């Protein structure tokens, strides 16, 4: 069967099958693909003047007047990287819903990945020089799991989360691990298994401890901070994390004492969120429970004061334990 052609201009033609492949690859084709699908080398040379060159022998079939969007640059990187190349680190995180594309241009992100700009990051078993908005990272054989059936190819989400956590600060370890689990992209069990299979990752001990806390029910960086800085150091009773009360899930709860603790992050508690919070607090009062509500500035800025308030309410509700002073507590601060 003869290949069908469609006009790109009055004297330049691209096979329909190549057009279809380009649509599948974000509008990106390589020189080898074009020749393999019916174009001659001279035809590619003529046509490339009307396209955007994204690397050696890699073209975006669009006029060279606009900056290629993220997805196009990822395809260009994967194709330029050669067999076995795939998106990694922040680029894979965007593809998997673990991060937003706007994050990769932020200062902290560039610092985390060691990049000078918002280049996409491609992991490849081959030696490749960076260029055209693409950063290549050489991968050792067997270092990460094989890619699943997703296109463009990318590392599996467990490896993505661990790679980012290992490259970032301890605060960012909490962000990536909790975000991956909270968004139901993976589980603590799968992350722990991958961590066991990658024994040389930076922050390994921190990640192991964190996975234990997430498995116990903590679902956000704020909850992790509450466990580590408020509850555990002051030896408050062990709470139930993500406790079900009627239709609602409470961040931290003491069912025995009827004490509920809500941890308000920076999002979701403005305007309509505040009204929902009040209605929920009122409903819990009618059920006989009492609620304390804390934000980032409380848990991070004054964890000892938060511990004191929780202890006061617990004592009023029947707890007979003693609040323990932690190394950060100011003198005479915990007279409960």
Cβ proximity of 202 and 195 under 8 Å: no
Residues 195 and 80 both lie in one domain: yes
Residues 139 and 91 both lie in one domain: yes
SS3 category, 10: coil
Average pLDDT in the chain? 83
Indicate the number of domains in the chain. 3
DSSP E strand boundaries for 215-321: 240-245, 248-254, 259-264, 290-295
CA distance to 145, 203, 204, per residue, from 200 (Å): 15, 9, 8
Residues 201 and 93 both lie in one domain: yes
Query: What φ, ψ does residue 73 adopt, rounded to 5°?
Result: -65, -35
How far apart CA 171 and CA 188 sit, in angstroms, is: 18
CATH code, domain carrying 273 = 3.40.960.10
Residues 197 and 112 both lie in one domain: yes
Per-residue pLDDT tens digits for 211-231: 887 877 777 778 888 888 899
CA distance to 114, 172, 196, per residue, from 108 (Å): 10, 10, 28
Boundary of a domain, candidates 182, 215, 248: 215
Pairing assessment for the beta strands 134-138 and 240-245 based on DSSP bridges = unpaired
How far apart CA 9 and CA 68 sit, in angstroms, is: 21
Residues 175 and 251 both lie in one domain: no
Q: Which of 117-121, 219-223, 232-236, 285-289 has the highest mean pLDDT?
A: 232-236
Boundary of a domain, candidates 66, 89, 115: 66
Share of residues in the chain with pLDDT > 70 (%): 85
Predicted model pTM: 0.71
Residues forming beta bridges with residue 304, ordered by sequence position: none
Cβ proximity of 110 and 118 under 8 Å: yes
CA distance to 15, 263, 266, 299, per residue, from 296 (Å): 58, 8, 8, 5
Which range marks the domain in which residue 31 is found?
A: 5-66
Using pLDDT thresholds of 50, 70 and 90, give the confidence band for residue 111.
low
């Amino acid at each position: 069967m003869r290949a069908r052609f469609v006009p790109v201009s009055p004297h330049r033609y691209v096979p329909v099958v190549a057009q279809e492949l380009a649509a599948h690859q974000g509008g990106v084709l390589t020189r080898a693909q074009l020749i393999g699908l019916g174009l001659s080398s001279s035809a590619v040379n003529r046509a490339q003047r009307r396209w955007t060159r994204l690397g050696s022998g890699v073209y975006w079939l669009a006029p060279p007047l606009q900056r290629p969007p993220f997805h196009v640059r990822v395809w260009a990187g994967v194709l330029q990287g050669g067999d076995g190349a795939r998106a990694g680190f922040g680029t894979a995180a965007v593809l998997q819903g673990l991060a937003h594309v706007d994050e990769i241009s932020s200062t902290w992100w560039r610092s985390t990945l060691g990049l000078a700009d918002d280049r996409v990051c491609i992991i490849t078993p081959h030696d490749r020089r960076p260029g055209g908005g693409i950063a290549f990272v050489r991968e050792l054989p067997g270092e990460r799991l094989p890619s699943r059936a997703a296109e463009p190819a990318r590392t599996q989400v467990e490896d993505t989360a661990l790679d980012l956590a290992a490259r970032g600060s301890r605060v960012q370890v909490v962000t990536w691990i909790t975000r991956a689990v909270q968004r139901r992209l993976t589980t603590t069990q799968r992350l722990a298994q991958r961590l066991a299979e990658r024994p040389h990752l930076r922050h390994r001990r921190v990640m192991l401890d964190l996975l234990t806390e997430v498995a116990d029910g903590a679902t956000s960086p704020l909850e992790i901070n509450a466990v580590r800085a408020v509850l555990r150091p002051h030896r408050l009773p062990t709470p139930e994390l993500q406790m079900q009360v009627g239709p609602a899930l409470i961040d931290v709860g003491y069912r025995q004492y009827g004490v509920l603790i809500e941890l308000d992050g920076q999002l979701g508690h403005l305007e309509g969120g505040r009204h929902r919070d009040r209605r929920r607090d009122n409903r819990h009062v009618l059920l006989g429970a009492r609620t304390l509500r804390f934000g980032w500035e409380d848990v991070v800025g004054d964890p000892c004061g938060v511990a004191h308030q929780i202890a006061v309410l617990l004592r009023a509700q029947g707890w007979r334990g003693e609040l323990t002073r932690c190394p950060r507590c100011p003198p005479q601060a915990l007279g409960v």
